[in-house]
Amino acid sequence: MTKARTRTRVGPLATNPEPAPPLDVDALLDDRSTGIIVCCGSGGVGKTTASAALALRAAERGRRVVVLTIDPARRLAQSMGIEALDNTPRPVKGLKLPGGNGRSKGAPLLDAMMLDMKRTFDEVVESQANAEKARQILENPFYIALSSSFAGTQEYMAMEKLGQIHADAKRDGTYDLIVVDTPPSRSALDFLDAPERLSSFLDGRFIRLLLTPARGPARMMTAGLGLITSALNRILGTQVLRDMQTFVAAFDTLFGGFRARAQKTFQLLQADGTAFLVVAAPEPDALREAAYFVERLEEDDMPLAGLIVNRASPAPVGTVSADEAMAASERLRKEDPSSLTAGLLRLHADQTRIVEREALLRDRFAAAHPQVPTVVVPALAGDVHDLDGLRRVGELMAGTD
Ligand SMILES: Nc1ncnc2c1ncn2[C@@H]1O[C@H](COP(=O)(O)OP(=O)(O)OP(=O)(O)O)[C@@H](O)[C@H]1O
Ligand SMILES: [Mg+2]
C-alpha cells in the first residue's frame, strides 16, 4: 500500500468543485495501491453481495484477494465454500483466473471467510492473556453473553479480524486486497461507532464500579457503592453480579490491548490504501443513511471511493411516458374493462414512475454530495446466490455489461 495517491475526500477537503465522474469500479480494483475495500450501508441493501462480487471481480482481474463476509445467505456461502464458521479464509473454487487457477507465488487468487464473532473474541482473549487467565475469562458466563450477543460486538470483531488479516497479509504477502463486508446493522454508522461504544462500556464507570468490590478490601466500599451493589444484586442476582465482577477483574489487563488494537484498525481505515464504498438501495431511508455515512467518513477523514445504488428498478423498454401510458390505459379500460393491453400500459406507467422517483432520489443525493462518484446496479431477476450471479453483479458495477 502506498501513500502516493490520495483518494476522493469529500467536503472541505475536496479540491475539485466539479461533479464527480461515475464510479470506476475497475480502476479501483486494478489500482495496486487499493489494499482494503470496505462495503458499508444500512441493513439489507446488498453489502455482502457487493463485497463478494467486488472480491471475485478483483481476483479474476489478477489480484490476490480475501473477502471477509458477515452472515452471507446460506446458498451464497455454499457457492463460495464457506458454510463452516471456522474463521479461516478458504479458497473459492470455480474462478476464471487469468493464467489458470494456480496458487503459486504472486498468482491471483480468491479466499473467502465468514466472520465468527465469538471465535474472534476468544482468539483475542487467548492471544492477550496467559492460559489460566484466558480460561477464566472464556468460561465466565458474562463473557459468553457479551462475546456472543452484545450490540456492537460484531462490528468490533469485524474490525479486529480485519486488523489480523491485514497484519498477516503484510507479513506473508498472501493477499494484496482485503474486501470487508460489514454487519447487518440498522445504521451504517454502527460499524464505526460500535467499537468505541464497546470499549467505553468495558472501560466505563459502570464496570469500574462493579469491579471495585472484587478488587479492593471490603472496607473501601463506600455506603453508596454498597447500596448500588445490593440493588444490582437484587436486579441481576448474586451470581450474575459475581460473574460480572470476576469477568471484569480478569479482563481488566486486556483493556489496553483492546483499545490499542481498535485504534490501530481505525488508522488503517483512514489510510490512503483503504476505499470505502457505500451501498444503498434507491429508497429515501437507505440514501439518507448513505448521506450520513458519507458525512461521517469526511469527519473521520476516511477515504470514500463512491456510492453503489443497488437493486435499482430496471428501466422499462420503449419511449412512452408514464402519463401517456396511463392515459392510454384508462381510455382502453373504458372501452373494455378486461383489456390486457390496458393492464400492460398501466404496468409500464407504474414502472416508469418508480424509475423516475429513483432517479429523483439519486439526483437529490448528488446535489447534496456532488463529489461522490456513483454507480447504479439494477436489480437482477432473482437473488444472487452463486459465482455467476456475483460475476454478473460485478459486470454491472463496472458498467461493462
Ligand atoms: N443487484 C441485485 N439484484 C438482485 N438481488 C440482489 C441484488 N443485490 C443483492 N441482492 C439480494 O438481496 C438480498 C440482500 O443482499 P445482501 O445480503 O447482500 O444485503 P446486506 O446489505 O448484506 O444485508 P444485511 O444488512 O442483512 O447484511 C440477498 O438475497 C441478495 O441476493
Ligand atoms: Mg450482509
Q: Which residues approach ligand 1 with their CB closer than 6 A?
A: 41, 43-49, 71, 73, 184, 310-311, 377, 379-380, 383-384, 393
Confidence tier at 187 by pLDDT (50, 70, 90): low
Q: What is the pLDDT of residues 274-325, one digit of tens each?
A: 999 999 999 999 999 899 889 988 888 889 999 999 999 987 777 888 889 8
**Which of these, 112, 159, 166, 385, lies nearest to 259 by C-alpha position?**
159
pLDDT in tens, 99-152: 655 567 778 999 999 988 788 888 888 887 788 888 888 888 777 877 776 656
Give residue for cell 470499549. 199
pLDDT band at 249 (very low <50, low <70, confident <90, very high): low
**pLDDT at residue 219 tops 50:** no
Atom of ligand 1 at shortest range from CA of 185:
25
Q: Please report the DSSP string for 46-88 in residue order.
A: SHHHHHHHHHHHHHHTT-EEEEEESS--HHHHHHTT--S--SS
Q: Which numbered ligand comes closest to the C-alpha of 75?
A: 1
- Across all residues in the chain, what is the average pLDDT? 81
Q: Which amino acid is at 334?
A: K
Better pLDDT: 282 or 249: 282
Among 26-30, 189-193, 210-214, 297-301, which stretch is predicted with the lowest mean pLDDT?
210-214
Task: Give pLDDT tens digits for 55-89.
Answer: 999 999 999 999 999 888 889 999 998 887 678 89
Contacts of 73-79 with C-beta under 8 Å, sequence gap 24+, read: 73/48, 73/383, 73/385, 75/383, 75/385, 75/386, 76/48, 76/49, 76/52, 76/384, 76/385, 76/386, 76/390, 77/114, 79/385, 79/386, 79/387
pLDDT band at 220 (very low <50, low <70, confident <90, very high): very low
Is pLDDT of 167 > 80? yes
Q: Which ligand is nearest to the CA of 190?
A: 1
pTM, 2 dp: 0.83
Q: Where are the alpha helices (DSSP H) in 83-237?
A: 117-128, 131-139, 141-149, 153-172, 190-203, 205-215, 223-236
**Does position 2 have pLDDT exceeding 50, yes or no?**
no
Mean pLDDT of 328-352: 90
Task: Give 236's pLDDT tier (boundaries 50, 70, 90).
Answer: low
